[in-house]
Structure 1
Amino acid sequence: MAELENPNVMSKMIMFLSSLLQRVAESNDLNRLFQPQKISVFHGLTRPSISIRSYLERILKYANCSPSCFIVAYVYLDRFAQRQPSLPITTFNVHRLLITSVLVAAKFMDDMYYNNAYYAKVGGISTIEMNFLEVDFLFGLGFQLNVTPNTFHTYCSYLQTEMMLQPPLSIADSSLSIGSSLKAHSCYNDEDESSHQKQQLAV
């Protein structure tokens, strides 16, 4: 969508996404005290000191990927949350999930993109760790990377509508995962479960 090229729109979208992810992550932090959850390569031993918003703004500033990649990354996070219910988004893994989802989206969407070593520096992790995160994320998605125009438009419209209707701090029920909160909007589309892949995904 052309609106995404507007820096003000992207800035507001980053602010809304970070607020949504913060609420979801903090809610899941509470749930993990009562429900057993798997520990994955995305989990850090401690919570990163950088906020989710600042981290997303850093990725936006230095990744130089197309604005559409952030919508596609959001689609991927939704799919990951639905396909991996035992690995909910928390404050211990959200940063690694974000940098990985944008990396994979950029490789799939853009003709030109930075390599894993560059994204590792942007994300504040090692290249080896970035490589492992990418592989685990791809398997977590079942390598279902294709996003149809209809699904892209649905996610984009959902975000734009939510941004207009409510401020970032009064988003939908934070007890829901991203996947659950979007299911009501029929954002997840089975037609995206295609075998279409890009050869340039290799590190």
Structure 2
Amino acid sequence: MAELECPTVMNNLITYLSSLLQRVAESNDLNPRFNPQKISAFHGLTRPSISIESYLQRIFKYANCSPSCYVVAYVYLDRFTQQQPAILINSLNVHRLLITSVMIAAKFMDDIYYNNAYYAKVGGISITEINFLEVDFLFGLGFQLNVNPTTFNTYCSYLQNQMFLLHPSLNTEESSLSSYTSRSTKLLHYEDDQQQKQEVVAV
């Protein structure tokens, strides 16, 4: 799906997401609730030398997933932190959380995606580690991967509004993030319908 391939919009989306995660990570680094002894599988021993923005740019450049995956990955990160309040996004885990959430979003959203070994190479971690992180993330989400159209559009609108606050010149219909989401919304409607059909069959 290539519906969000407006370079200006995507560059600013990645810049905003990076800035958001950077602020959250730095805030939690100083948060007294963060106990370094209570670490998760996503925690590294040291802070990665690559910045969050450069890391996300690398993922965007090489992962080749649909831009809609970044909205869904953001939904997943939000759900993960809500369901796992003891795991705070910080400088030691944000990179692994990013590559894992984007990979899972690509598998859920895209018809074509790479295997785990490729995503591991993009993320700069081992295949064994990314396999483990995927399982840990899925259990952390409670396997709640479905994103209905209303949720998708809500998150998309939020991201779009924040992008426009930072870059008012983007506030045009042609560069609107939401104007590129019609195919994603249709896909989510389809998946929602399929899930309902499966539930009906199960009953």
- TM surpasses 0.5: yes
Into which bin does the TM-score normalised by the smaller protein fall? 0.7 to 0.9
Task: Give the drift of 1:76.
Answer: 0.1
Counterpart check, 1:93 vs 2:93: yes
Go from structure 1 to structure 2 and tell me whether the alpha carbon gap of 1:49 and 1:36 turns closer, same or farther (over 3 Å shift): closer
Secondary structure at 2:14's aligned position in 1?
helix
Structure 2: stretches of 5+ with no match in the other structure: 168-191, 197-203
What is the aligned partner in structure 1 of residue 161 from structure 2? 161
Residues 1-203 of structure 1 correspond to what in structure 2 (within 5 A)? 4-32=4-32, 38-166=38-166
Task: Give the drift of 1:166.
Answer: 3.4
The percent of aligned pairs where both chains have the same amino acid is: 76
Secondary structure at 1:144's aligned position in 2?
coil
Normalised by the length of structure 1, the TM-score is 0.79
Runs of 4+ deviating beyond 4 Å: 32-37
Bigger radius of gyration among the two: 2
Task: Give the drift of 1:5.
Answer: 1.9
Q: Which moved more, 1:30-39 or 1:142-151?
A: 30-39
Provide the rounded CA distance (Å) in 2 between the counterparts of 1:32 and 1:115: 38
Task: Give the drift of 1:90.
Answer: 0.3
Provide the rounded CA distance (Å) in 2 between the counterparts of 1:49 and 1:33: 25
RMSD: 2.0
Secondary structure at 1:4's aligned position in 2?
coil
Provide the rounded CA distance (Å) in 1 between the counterparts of 2:37 and 2:27: 14
Go from structure 1 to structure 2 and tell me whether the alpha carbon gap of 1:153 and 1:33 turns closer, same or farther (over 3 Å shift): closer
Contact persistence 2:76–2:145 (CA under 8 A): yes
Normalised by the length of structure 2, the TM-score is 0.79
User: Quick one: which amino acid aligns to residue 23 of structure 1?
Assistant: R
Task: Give the drift of 1:137.
Answer: 0.2
Contact persistence 1:3–1:9 (CA under 8 A): no
Task: Give the drift of 1:29.
Answer: 0.5
Contact persistence 2:26–2:91 (CA under 8 A): yes
Cα shift readout 1:120-168 (whole Å, capped 9, x = no counterpart): 000000000000000000000000000001111110110010111236x
Secondary structure at 2:4's aligned position in 1?
helix
Secondary structure at 2:158's aligned position in 1?
helix
User: Quick one: which amino acid aligns to residue 146 of structure 1?
Assistant: N
Provide the rounded CA distance (Å) in 2 between the counterparts of 1:39 and 1:164: 36
